[in-house]
């Protein structure tokens, strides 16, 4: 079957969402990198998402969940098969101290709405540049907080399209890991438990965290965020800094002068530039400190 046949068949079920053949993924990634997707599917409802997952599974078509594209590097050759982008599943609903958010909602937006409702517990997420789906998959965290601190449950699809509701324990959330990532589940929505807080104190905490983020992270350039996981007993950024790698890179990609844990697309980089810079950093840190840096970002697609 060809991508045009996939398009024709999925058009019968994707009526609210959008289908695009040979769509450049650089338009959807935070790094502004990546070749074309054979077929990009942007479902308009959870039912359309289920239908797409089942369709791909039944026909053995490779399926990649893109999310917000904030923690992913797409190679220059693009992605064969179907890419699923859940940007239209972005409903956020607050009921008392509980927050329900669909997978495509940005975690920053969820945090903002919770803060506006005088709810505390999710301030740590006020600067995390990802979707709820991605945040769930990697148990996103910052400034001493993480998703597992506030999660009640998540609704996911298995790779065959079966819908499951997983409790906090069933999600197996650890440092940048979850059952979602392990099993390749697709998040549909998540429910969080927050608490009523003092508005002044909440606002002050958000302002402080926002200042820390903006003053220390190279937000003026496209990037995949923090590239490496924290190695046991070390900080990735400190190791990279101590190797003297800031300002170095390949092509248009460079280790940030502002935060060594970030690799930026400084000057029209290609994905190849970005990946070569990642590999250079890993090799140098291993050489100088004997530490194997593990990627926090996911590298996908064809060379």
Residue with tokens 């999660």: 151
Query: What's the confidence (pLDDT) of residue 203?
Result: 93
- For 218-297, CATH gives 3.90.78.10
The size of the chain, in residues, is 303
Q: What is the DSSP string of 172-195?
A: T-BTTB-HHHHHT-EEEEEEEE-E
Please list, residue by residue across 27-62, b when 16 or more beta carbons sit within 10 angstroms of its beta carbon and e when fewer do: ebbbbbbbbbbbbbbbbeebebbbbbbbbbbeeebe
How far is 21 from 9, CA to CA, in rounded Å? Answer: 13
How far is 290 from 284, CA to CA, in rounded Å? Answer: 9
Query: What's the confidence (pLDDT) of residue 145?
Result: 87
Tell me, what DSSP letter sits at residue 37? E
Please list, residue by residue across 14-25, b when 16 or more beta carbons sit within 10 angstroms of its beta carbon and e when fewer do: beebebbeebeb
Write out the CATH class of domain 3-84.
alpha beta
Provide the annotated active-site residues. 176, 226, 296
Instruction: Give the CATH architecture of domain 92-201.
Output: 2-Layer Sandwich (3.30)
Ordered per-residue pLDDT tens for the chain, 303 residues: 799 999 999 999 999 999 999 999 999 999 999 999 999 999 999 999 999 999 999 999 999 999 888 889 999 999 999 999 999 999 999 999 999 999 999 998 999 999 999 999 999 888 888 899 999 998 988 888 899 999 999 999 999 999 999 999 999 999 888 999 999 999 999 999 999 999 999 999 999 888 888 888 888 999 998 899 999 999 999 999 999 999 999 999 999 999 999 999 999 999 999 999 999 999 999 999 999 999 989 999 998
How far is 141 from 66, CA to CA, in rounded Å? Answer: 19
Among candidates 88, 93, 73, which has minimal Cα distance to 33? 73
Single pTM value for the model: 0.91
Q: What is the DSSP string of 48-83?
A: HHHHHHHHHHHTT--EEE-TTSSSEEE-TT-EEEEE
Asked whether this chain's domains 3-84 and 92-201 adopt the same fold, the reply is no
How far is 265 from 169, CA to CA, in rounded Å? Answer: 38
Indicate the domain borders of the chain. 3-84, 92-201, 218-297
Both tokens of 222, joined, read 């496209």
């Amino acid at each position: 079957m060809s991508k045009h046949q996939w398009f024709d068949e999925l058009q019968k079920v994707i009526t609210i969402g959008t289908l695009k053949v040979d769509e450049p993924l650089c338009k959807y990634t935070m790094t502004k990198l990546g070749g074309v997707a054979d077929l990009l599917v942007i479902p308009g409802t959870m039912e359309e998402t289920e239908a797409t997952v089942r369709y791909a599974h039944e026909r053995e078509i490779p399926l990649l969940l893109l999310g917000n594209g904030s923690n992913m590097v797409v190679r220059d050759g693009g992605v064969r098969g179907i890419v699923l982008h859940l940007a239209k599943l972005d409903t956020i609903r607050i009921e008392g101290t509980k927050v329900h958010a669909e997978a495509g909602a940005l975690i920053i937006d969820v945090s903002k709405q919770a803060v506006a409702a005088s709810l505390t517990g999710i301030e740590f997420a006020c600067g995390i540049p990802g979707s709820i789906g991605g945040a769930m998959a990697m148990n996103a965290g910052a400034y001493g907080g993480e998703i597992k601190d506030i999660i009640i449950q998540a609704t996911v699809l298995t790779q065959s399209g079966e819908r499951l509701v997983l409790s906090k324990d069933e999600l197996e959330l650890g440092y940048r890991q979850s059952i979602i990532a392990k099993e390749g589940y697709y998040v549909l929505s998540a429910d969080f438990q927050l608490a009523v807080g003092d508005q002044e104190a909440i606002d002050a905490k958000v302002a402080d965290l926002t200042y820390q983020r903006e003053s220390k992270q190279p937000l003026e350039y496209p990037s995949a965020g923090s590239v490496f996981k924290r190695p046991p007993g070390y900080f990735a950024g400190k190791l990279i800094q101590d190797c003297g790698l800031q300002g170095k890179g390949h092509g248009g990609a460079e280790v940030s002068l502002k935060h060594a844990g970030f690799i930026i697309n400084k000057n029209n980089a290609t994905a190849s530039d970005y990946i070569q810079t990642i590999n250079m950093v890993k090799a140098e840190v291993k050489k100088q400190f004997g530490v194997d840096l593990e990627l926090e970002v996911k590298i996908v697609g064809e060379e």
